[in-house]
Structure 1
Amino acid sequence: MTSTSRKTITLQRVSFLRGPNIWTYRPVMEAWLDLGTLEEQPSHLIPGFTDRLLALLPDLAEHHCGVGEKGGFLQRLREGTWAGHVLEHCVIELLNLAGMPTGFGQTRSTSHTGVYRMVFRARNEQVGRVALAQGHALITAALNDEPFEVDAAVEAIRAAIDDCYLGPSTAAIVGAATDRRIPHIRLNDGNLVQLGYGARQRRIWTAETDLTGAIAESIAGDKDLTKTLLTAVGVPVPEGQVVARPQDAWEAAEDIGLPVVVKPSDANHGRGVSLDLNTREEVEAAWHIADAEGSEVIVERYILGDEHRLLVVGGQVVAASRGESLWVTGDGHSSIAQLIDSQLNTDPRRGEAEEFPLETIHLDREPVIRHTLERQGLTGDSVPAAGKAVLIQRNGNLAIDCTDEVHPEVAAAVTLAARVVGLDIAGIDLVTTDVSKPFSQTRGAIVEVNAGPGLLMHLKPAEGQPRPVGQAIVEHLFPGSEDDVHAGRIPIVGIAGSRGCATIARAVAWLVHLSGRHTALACSQGLWAGNRRIGNPGRQPWDAAHRLLMNREAQAAVFENPASLILDDGLPYDRCTVGVVTDFDGHVDLAHHDVRQPEHLYKVLRTQIDVVLGDGVGVLNANDARVLELAELCDGEVLLYAQVDAGVPEAVTAHLQAGGRAVLLRQGRVVLAHGSGEQPGVQLQRLLGRWGRPQDAELGEALLAAVATAWAFGISPELIGAGLETFELQAA
């Protein structure tokens, strides 16, 4: 096949829309596609294309499409659909195969023949770009009857997911926050995440929170100090000693009484912990294993029973897991290492990635397991007789849910331990023969208190019921009703349009500030944190605006959102308290987005009204009939503003008769109307004269919109009037 006859789609440009946009509330990847000659060749006119495509991605036959049922996309392929639409479904299917399921995608034509805009749901830009590249390569191969390795494409996407996505514990908390409609911001490439905005935010790092004190974390990291504090309040712990040498370990073991446990003082995930030691040789060998893992070594009394991990969140036990011993059974010809691979590592619950509840066992990196084998006179190369059971790991593998079995007295001891150490979230390790009985009956004890515990064992137990631990942590951080739409949120005002929006934003921010809230502001004239100007938006206005929501001092925020920002990046927040649309005049500079006339701005500017909260307010310019059409899209109240010297628009009259609110400019004075009542407001003409701009109609309209927005925000008419008297028209 010559290069001139080869069929291909040209990717003209690719953008990641990070906030609410013209397509959806959620982040998407948007690609502009040039089909070239494929514009004249829908799928049914390309010989063998559909069959080749289904051979590569069989599950495409299950995709829904315009017909609204399974198999809809296959029907479209058979009847004829364009290559951009096919690429959309290829990308979605590859994401599904890679474990990042998505069902959202759209492909729309533009005013240029053969050029389309294609979008698909993308939680992360890097993953989205990899998925698009692999989907593009796949459809190109199918179009040209060329080979393509689907498994390699899926693996490439999985690798991008592994590089970019949150760990399972953090993801569970973020997912629970999302279910509560609490927004989040990822603060680094790891697991540091902000839940909520501004002054209402909380921060998490895996299962640690900004309520977790540094002193408490340090105490938890010092096992000997932890035991001292727990002993002081009567919580049962195994007696033990810190030892510096192997011979000291044996002397301590004799003092404590055999059997004993030897472990590092900062043991993590059971690393370096040796159990049920009864001889000097065993104790001294265990000292060397523990010493290699931590700074100090502890010898303590061995507690008979199974290891348990109880998760305490905000003073309550919310989940519990029990460990199990691991054994293999000889077959007379396989080595222990081979038996581990065939009998244990084949368990589908085991794997290297974080999403597996159990780890793959590798003898070369498990000194405790090697020591356990040595105590039985075995090594990894030993071949046990057929039917002989060999102990591989005495404890650990905390993967059996036992939450409903925990005795109230055990739960009380565990929550007390978390309080004594000072942790709001803690993983408490204890050993007991029966967690459903009090420690006094089982001689059980708490052996460790952990800050920042992993959650995977509770989210994906190998046996038993998964527990909603992410939800418990979110409820701890944001107490209150699940229906509270303001959890983690500060009031946000968004202003979209092109006429005087920077002035509106600055005036509203000033009035909100005067009402007693520390206010963040992002507009084309600059960035403010309270009364401090902290910079200009620069070439990345979305990033600059979004960063203001990280400010812990911000009790409210005001954003100017030109149409170009919505088209390039989306809105810098997910929902707002007040959304304002001023006009449809900003289409002139948006031809590269295929926006060529005012009517094309409807889908763009509606985004600002779409995100108004149910108890929020949409503020609309009633002098523009196109803006008024957005009223039906608002989930909250609609407040209109209009200049009425030429007569009150019919829509405003009807709105007031229905009990609505409107702000009117009549003969130079602002009037605040609610139903049949009116309240005089600021003398706007006098203000314009004081600023030396008595005939500036655009400035007057901007200040009218600012009054309407401030009233929608909940600021009193008296404060609005006094505040505008002190407003500085020029940015400082």
Structure 2
Amino acid sequence: MSTPHEIKLLRINYLRGPNIWTYRPVLEVWLDLGRLEEFPSNTLPGLNERLTTWLPNLVEHHCGVGERGGFLQRLEEGTWAGHVLEHVVIELLNLAGMPTGFGQTRETTTSGVYRMVFRARDEQVARSALAEGHALLTAAINFQEGDAPFDVAGAVARVLAQIDDCYLGPSTAAIVNAATDRGIPHLRLNDGNLVQLGHGARQRRIWTAETDLTSAIAEGIARDKDLTKTLLKSCGVPVPEGEIVSTAEEAWEAAQGVGLPVVVKPLDGNHGRGVSLELSTQADVEAAFHVAQKEGSEVIVERFVAGDEHRLLVVGGKVVAATRGESLWITGNGRDTVVQLIDSQLNSDPRRGEAEEFPLETIVLDREPAMGLLLQRQGLGADSVPAQGQRVLIQRNGNLTIDCTDDVHPEVAYAASLAARVVGLDIAGIDLVAQDIARPLGFQGGAIVEVNAGPGLLMHLKPAMGLPRPVGRAIVDHLFDENATGRIPIVGVAGSQGTNTVARLVAWLLHLSGRRVGLACQDGLFLGSRQIDKRPAAHWAAGRRLLINREVDTVVLESSAATILEDGLAYDRCLVGIVTDLQGIAGLEHHDIRETEQLFKVLRTQVDVVLPEGVAVLNADDPRLVQMAELCDGGVIFYGQDASAPAIADHRANGGRAVLALHGRLVLAEGAAQIPSVPLDNPAVKRLCEDYGPPVLMAAIAAAWALGISPELIAAGIETCLTAPAPAPQPVTSR
């Protein structure tokens, strides 16, 4: 028996931010193909047939060919196992409902060793997909006659389980996606659905459909249904009469007092559990009391309001979506029990499921005693066999899946909006009962029966009938003004020569201009003039600490080439990106970076992420850095000690900006215009140039200019920085 072929996974690294491969997070995997380096796909008997049988949708992968079937073409021509693994992993993610179109596989300078990457929204999901893809490809390569086919369904199920554990819920995801469409960045703050939109002082936070504007007092009021009704009634909002009861006997007395028929429900329940409707007999009311008592701390008896249940979503005082409920029925066939009919006629609906992404829950009678009580009132139980054609009511209302947003009468919308304001919720799900949502509630005896904090959005995103509504966008528009992106100015500094000093100088100048600055560099972590961590902080984790800090309105972050290769940048885009040099190649052999051309591709990441309204600051003394200018989406400011250099001259001839040393001063030049700024013969400036070198000052001055700091303040800041507190650089005592 021949030795099985093996693909060794040498290293797995999750790049959380923009990196050498792409703007987005990826999982980077170092692979050793071993003997497979000598066997491309077209030399391994039966491999291609097995892969296309197990994963038939591989035909949809374009690959580098650029058209459907492109990857299969590569398989037939012969491609290496690392590239095949990339596509297998991507296809497993596709099958798990998390499609990703990005992946790359590249050789390293070591024979048989490759770097393979693929788009990874979540590290644990990506690792799960990698493990399953690795197992599948290994099985396909080493398949022997008599072996069972690989269990693709099981692999997809395991990836799906990881997705269920790790991904945002549908309501949160809808808000995050809407924010992304508006260019608003987001940071996930826990393993659940707590998400920050925007950065620093301009951030807002959401937790499912609650925001940092959602009042804790309002949430408490909404949980207390009796208090909610009292407040609503006092403001003229129509609500059903009701009474809190402590015993089954009291429930029947209250029912007679408010008038039959009645509703019995838990005072602080949710999801409609324990709610029994249209009760008219003492036996039904008392039985319903015991059902409701198990679902909440107290029980309330209310007047029954005729009509259909509706859910109106109120965001920022406006109704943005509405759905209507429908009753659930089964039809007997004379053979199957009620439970069997529920499974075949209701739970078979693809909209029903246990996971959060399903708009409707699976019906399980054992956990829905209110349904059992409803069956009992019809003379049936879970094991009863309804006659042929007999219709059996399983649930009244609920199942709010029919969109009716366009039908809502303005008076109804006003009542719902008023209810949300009375309780104090910025986002609320208003439950009301009406026979016709297109008519005012007063004319039909309709009423608002509940106000819910943190309402689910899925019913509006995936209605069973009618149009989906952009409720995520409505919430984002509620949190941010029309043109706001939630971004604060971010300055990124990349390179190896004096970058920590550049970062500190920029932070100092920003501090002088009145900004609340966060600084992360090799010298530590700073908030304003206070150093909060002395450990080197030029890395992703330190940058994230600053971006989630509500006190910070501007951030300066130093990043080395190693940082970009190991973690990616801590931010998706920046306002100013500085690249000082291409001299930091030593120590990058671990990342297979051995030549300056490779280092260029790493450090260009800092320029790639500059916003269209931003500026790249580049050292024109290095012609290779000049080439980065064409990669920038925004403007460019060059700096250099040779004011007559062709790159600078051409740039200025086209109206570009540069920081230069001319006539004993550092000058801000824009086109032909020149603004003298910092005198080089100033003792403090001379000391800075001796300690750190003129290019360091130039880079910092260029960044400050790009940020709109005046030439006068720049000059004053540079002249005083050595005697200033942090975040300014400290003088060098020995050289």
User: TM-score scaled by structure 2?
Assistant: 0.96
Superposed CA RMSD: 1.4
Does 2:660 correspond to 1:658? no
List per-residue Cα deviations over 1:220-254 (Å, max 9, x = no partner): 11111111111111110001111111111111111
- Alignment partner, residue 500 of structure 1: 498
Does residue 1:710 correspond to 2:692, yes or no?
A: no
What displacement does 1:725 show? Answer: 2.3
**What is residue 315 of structure 1 aligned with on the other side?**
317
Tell me which amino acid in the other structure corresponds to 2:604.
R
Whichever residue aligns with residue 284 of structure 1, its letter is E
Counterpart residue number, 1:648: 644
- Counting only pairs closer than 5 Å after superposition, residues 471-550 of structure 1 correspond to structure 2 as 471-481=473-483, 487-536=485-534, 541-550=539-548
**What do the CA deviations read for 1:71-100 (whole angstroms, capped 9, x no partner)?**
011111101111111110000001001111
Question: Any idea what the Cα deviations from partners look like across 1:264-300, whole Å, max 9, x if unmatched?
Answer: 1112111111110101111111111111111111111
- State the distance in 1 between where 2:349 and 2:199 align: 43
Match of residue 108 from structure 1: 106
Distance in 1, matches of 2:375 and 2:320, equals: 36
Distance 1:559 1:156 in 2: 38
Contact 1:588 1:597 in 2 (8 A): no
Q: Match of 1:469?
A: 471
How far off its partner does 1:668 sit? 4.6
Pick from 709, 716, 724: which aligns with 2:718? 724
1:348, 1:687 → 2: CA distance?
76
The Cα of 1:687 is off from its aligned counterpart by 4.4
Alpha-carbon separation, structure 1, partners of 2:689 and 2:530: 30
Instruction: Look up the SS of the partner of 2:682 in the other structure.
Output: helix
Contact kept, 8 Å, 1:685 with 1:694, in 2: the verdict is no
One-letter identity of the residue aligned with 1:84: G
C-alpha distance in 2, partners of 1:200/1:425? 20
Q: Tell me, in whole angstroms, the C-alpha distance in 2 between the residues paired with 1:196 and 1:16.
A: 23
Of 52, 59, 69, 2:67 maps to 69
Q: CA deviation at 1:689?
A: 6.2
Q: Which deviates the most, 591-600 or 550-559?
A: 591-600
The aligned residue for residue 304 of structure 1 is 306
Q: Who is 2:563 aligned against?
A: 565
Give the aligned partner of residue 277 of structure 1. Answer: 279
Q: What SS does structure 2 have at the residue aligned with 1:614?
A: strand
Match of 1:426, as an amino acid? A
CA contact (8 A) 1:522 1:537 kept: no
Alignment partners' CA distance in 1, 2:61 and 2:220 = 52
Percent identical: 66
**Aligned to 1:184, which of 177, 183, 186?**
186
Q: Structure 2: state its 5+ residue gaps.
A: 723-727
Q: Secondary structure at the match of 1:236?
A: coil
Deviations 1:3-26 (A, max 9, x none): xx3112111101000000111110
Shift of 1:655: 0.7
Paired amino acid for 1:673: A
CA contact (8 A) 2:324 2:403 kept: yes
Once residues 538 and 683 of structure 1 are traced to their aligned partners in structure 2, the CA distance between those partners, rounded to angstroms, is 32
* TM-superposed deviation, 1:667: 5.5
Residues 214-223 or 576-585, more deviating: 214-223
Q: Is the 8 A contact 1:576 1:612 kept in 2?
A: yes
Aligned to 1:433: 435
Q: Check whether the contact 2:321–2:471 (CA below 8 A) recurs between aligned residues.
A: yes
Q: Alignment partner of 1:333: what SS?
A: coil
- Paired letter, 2:715: G
Q: Amino acid of the residue matched to residue 6 of structure 1? A: P
Aligned-pair distance for 1:665?
Answer: 1.9
Matched residues in 1 for 2:286 and 2:47: separation?
69
Question: Equivalent residue of 1:103, what SS?
Answer: coil
Whether the aligned pair in 2 keeps the contact of 1:586 and 1:598 (CA below 8 Å) is: no
* Residue equivalent to 1:92: 90
The equivalent position to 2:590 in structure 1, one of 589, 592, 596, is 592
Following TM superposition, by how much is the alpha carbon of 1:539 offset from its aligned partner in structure 2, in angstroms? 8.4
**Partner of 2:63: helix, strand, or coil?**
coil
Q: 1:36 aligns with which of 34, 37, 46?
A: 34
Cα deviation, residue 479, structure 1: 2.1
CA positional deviation for 1:726:
2.5
Instruction: State the shift of 1:666 in Å.
Output: 3.1
Q: Corresponding residue for 1:159?
A: 161
* Pairs within 5 Å for 1:123-202: 123-145=121-143, 147=148, 148-202=150-204
Aligned partners of 1:131, 1:538: CA distance in 2, in Å?
34
Does 2:633 match 1:639? Answer: no
Quick check: 2:525–2:537 contact (8 Å CA) kept in 1? no
Query: How much does 1:536 deviate?
Result: 3.9
| 3-state SS of 2:253 partner | helix
C-alpha distance in 1, partners of 2:535/2:480? 32
- Alignment partner, residue 629 of structure 1: 627
User: After alignment, is 254-263 or 51-60 more displaced?
Assistant: 51-60
Whether the aligned pair in 2 keeps the contact of 1:520 and 1:530 (CA below 8 Å) is yes
Q: TM-score, normalised by structure 1?
A: 0.97
The one-letter amino acid of 1:709's match is A
Question: Which residue of 2 is the match for residue 671 of structure 1?
Answer: 667
| Larger mean Cα displacement after TM superposition, 577-586 or 246-255 | 246-255
Q: Which residue of 2 aligns with 1:448?
A: 450
Deviation, structure 1 residue 541: 2.7
Q: How does 1:324-363 map to 2 (within 5 A)?
A: 324-363=326-365
> Aligned partners of 2:542 and 2:171: how far apart in 1?
29
| In structure 2, distance between residues paired with 1:39 and 1:200 | 51
Instruction: Give the direction of change, closer, same or farther, for the CA distance of 1:537–1:565 in structure 2 (3 Å limit).
Output: farther
- In the TM superposition, what is the alpha-carbon distance from 1:730 to its structure 2 partner? 4.2
Q: Which amino acid aligns with 1:716?
A: S
Cα distance change on mapping 1:695 and 1:508 into 2, 3 Å: closer
Q: Which runs of 5+ in 1 are unaligned?
A: none
What does residue 264 of structure 1 align with? 266
- The amino acid of 2:679's aligned partner reads Q
Report the Cα offset of residue 542 of structure 1: 1.2
Q: Deviations over 1:493-522 (max 9, x none)?
A: 001100000000011011111111101111
Distance 2:729 2:317 in 1: 53
* Residue 342 (structure 1) shift: 1.2
Change in CA separation of 1:220 and 1:34 when aligned onto 2, cut-off 3 Å: same
User: Using a 3 Å threshold, how does the CA distance of structure 1 residues 81 and 694 change in structure 2: closer, same or farther?
Assistant: closer
Q: 1:26-66 CA distances to partner (integer Å, 9 max, x unpaired)? A: 00000111112211211111121111211211111221011
Give the Cα–Cα distance (whole angstroms) in 2 for the partners of residues 731 and 388 of structure 1. 87
Rounded to whole Å, the distance in 1 between the matches of 2:328 and 2:524 is 63
| 1:244 corresponds to | 246
CA drift at 1:597: 2.1
- Cα gap change, 1:685 to 1:589, in 2 (>3 Å): farther
Deviation, structure 1 residue 452: 0.4
**Alignment map for 1:384-463 (pairs within 5 Å):** 384-463=386-465
**What amino acid maps onto 1:585 in structure 2?**
Q
For 2:319 and 2:603, the matched residues in 1 are separated by 48
The whole-number CA distance in structure 1 between the counterparts of 2:257 and 2:590 is 81
Classify 1:710/1:694 alpha carbon distance in 2 versus 1 (closer, same or farther; 3 Å).
closer
Corresponding residue for residue 725 of structure 2: none
Alpha carbons of 1:679 and 1:245: their partners in 2 closer, same or farther (altered >3 Å)?
same
On the 8 A contact 2:617/2:639 being kept in 1, the answer is: yes
Q: CA deviation at 1:694?
A: 5.6
Report what 2:680 is aligned to: 684
The aligned residue for residue 552 of structure 1 is: 550
Secondary structure of 1:262 counterpart: strand
Matched positions, count: 722
Q: Is the 8 A contact 1:31 1:118 kept in 2?
A: yes
Name the residue aligned to 1:220: 222
Aligned mates of 2:20, 2:293 — CA distance in 1: 59
Residues 521 and 537 of structure 2 are in contact (CA less than 8 Å); yes or no, is this contact kept in structure 1? no
Aligned AA (1:714): G
Shift of 1:699: 3.0
**Residue 575 in 1 paired to residue 577 in 2?**
no
Mapped contact 1:478–1:487 kept (Cα < 8 A): yes
| Equivalences for residues 359-398 of structure 1 within 5 A | 359-398=361-400
